[in-house]
Amino acid sequence: MNYGFLCRACGLRLSFQPGTSRCRCGGTLLVEYDLERARRTLTKESLKHRVTSMWRYRELLPVQSKDSIISLGEGWSPLIRLHYAERLLPLGKLWVKREEQNPTGSFKARGFSAALSIAREYGINKVAVNSNGNAASALAAYAAYAGMEAYVFVPRDCPGIIVEECVQYGAHTCLVDGFIHDAGKIIIDGQQEQGWYNVGTLKEPGRAEGKKTMGLELSEQLGWRLPDVIIYPTGGGSGVIGMWNAFQQLKQLGFIQGDLPRMVSVQEAGCQPLVDSMASGSGFKPQSGHVDSSPTGMRVPHPPDGHLILSILRESGGIAIAVSREEILQAGAAYGRQGISASPEGAAALAGLTRLIDQGWIRPNDEVVLFNTSHAMKYMPWKLAASLPVVKTYQDWLRAVK
């Protein structure tokens, strides 16, 4: 095996295994590869002849056998110039990475393609996730394609079309009277009894590794260089963690040189633990007060490893900012007028850009990449199927499914 675990906090090395990504010190275990070995086959030239999915970077994904790969056509999403906005703002160069063109219409496809490929490699066939929505429907689709049984737990105010998707893909779908971490507790409480393999954020190595491919792609699509700034809507933060990891690996491989991008995390005001922790100047603190933001992927008051996200933002010279619901709505409309269908999370990134230009933090000659993580239409109002159970605890769930 040419990969193993490395603890991002204490530096401990461990052998790779599914079902964990937490060191005994509490730090997050990231996958470390034998890059000397990877370099033999992974070259800029060899990449020109490879599949146009995220699996083109297979030396940097923790799956041994090609037969384990579960792929529905994820990754290699378009990177599109926004000429109109560039002139308007003005800005050196502005790009949007169209992650909504992934299977299931969101960037979550990447993480589950990797996570379920690992699961298949280890003979796992019963998977569960807590999610604000898009991760649930992505898991549901990949599990269906792989012939695995999926259990998804989402807050009861999850956008209805996304809930509908989960049901359509055949997942056991349950609404939770609480936030994403409450949904997560149900899985933790039930995983031993139910035999669930927990594919929640940073509960196993695949999700962050799959997201890493966004960073690899971005660099390759720009001709093996990186922009000055990346603006990313942030909830659990595996995208920030994954992309930062990608950039380190590309540097070690000699594929890129020079400064890395300033990483910007955007959250919606009302659920902004990263913004508040960044402003405090000290360590990360989950949001303890009242949560008052929309039900989107950014609404994560207790991210699994806020320390790590914060340390990446700081190391990169980046920032975390909160934008209002109104700013998100306006940015969504502005995206629409440029031909892009943006989810609230994607729109938040554009709102963040506008704010950071106003503040002078982003300069007129900067090159910026925005991530649009999902389609606008997935968030349109929709009456939830009345037949779905609404639960609060694992015990509730047991009663509901009896």
- Is 66 a binding residue for a second copy by CB under 8 A? The answer is no
Cβ proximity to a second copy: between 10 and 380 the closer is 380
Subset of residues 262 to 281 that bind a second copy, contact rule: CB under 8 A: none
- Is 46 a binding residue for a second copy by CB under 8 A? The answer is no
One of 164, 228, 276, 367 touching a second copy (CB under 8 A): 164
- Per residue, what are the HEC states of the chain? CCEEEEECCCCCEEECCCCCCECCCCCEEEEEECHHHHHHHCCHHHHCCCCCCHHHHHHHCCCCCHHHCCCCCCCCCCEEECHHHHHHCCCCEEEEEEHHHCHHHECHHHHHHHHHHHHHHCCCCEEEEECCCHHHHHHHHHHHHHCCEEEEEEECCCCHHHHHHHHHCCCEEEEECCCHHHHHHHHHHHHHHHCCEECCCCCCCHHHHHHHHHHHHHHHHCCCCCCCEEEEECCCCHHHHHHHHHHHHHHHCCCCCCCCCEEEEEEECCCCHHHHHHHHCCCCCCCCCCCCCCCCCCCCCCCCCHHHHHHHHHHCCCEEEEECHHHHHHHHHHHHCCCCCCCHHHHHHHHHHHHHHHCCCCCCCCEEEEEECECHHHHCCCCCCCCCCEECCHHHHHHHHC
One of 141, 202, 298, 309 touching a second copy (CB under 8 A): 141
Stretch that binds a second copy, among 259-267, 276-284, 303-311, 371-379 (CB under 8 A): 371-379
Cβ proximity to a second copy: between 109 and 263 the closer is 109
Give the nearest distance from C-beta 139 to a second copy in angstroms.
Answer: 10
- Is 103 a binding residue for a second copy by CB under 8 A? The answer is yes
The site that binds a second copy (CB under 8 A) totals a number of residues, namely: 47
Give the nearest distance from C-beta 263 to a second copy in angstroms.
Answer: 24
- Is 84 a binding residue for a second copy by CB under 8 A? The answer is yes
Stretch that binds a second copy, among 145-153, 175-183, 258-266, 352-360 (CB under 8 A): 145-153
Residue with tokens 């949560």: 291
Give the nearest distance from C-beta 234 to a second copy in angstroms.
Answer: 24
Please give the C-alpha separations between residue 374 and each of 49, 154, 158, 267, 341, in angstroms, as whole numbers. Answer: 28, 17, 14, 16, 8
Cβ proximity to a second copy: between 33 and 95 the closer is 95
One of 11, 26, 90, 170 touching a second copy (CB under 8 A): 170
Give the nearest distance from C-beta 339 to a second copy in angstroms.
Answer: 3
Give the nearest distance from C-beta 98 to a second copy in angstroms.
Answer: 5
One of 333, 385, 390, 400 touching a second copy (CB under 8 A): 333
- Is 49 a binding residue for a second copy by CB under 8 A? The answer is yes
**Mask: binding to a second copy, 289-308, rule CB under 8 A, as x and -?**
--------------------
- Is 71 a binding residue for a second copy by CB under 8 A? The answer is yes
Residues making contact with a second copy (CB under 8 A): 48-49, 52-53, 71-73, 76-80, 84, 98, 101-105, 140-147, 161, 164-165, 168-170, 332-333, 336-341, 375-378, 380, 382
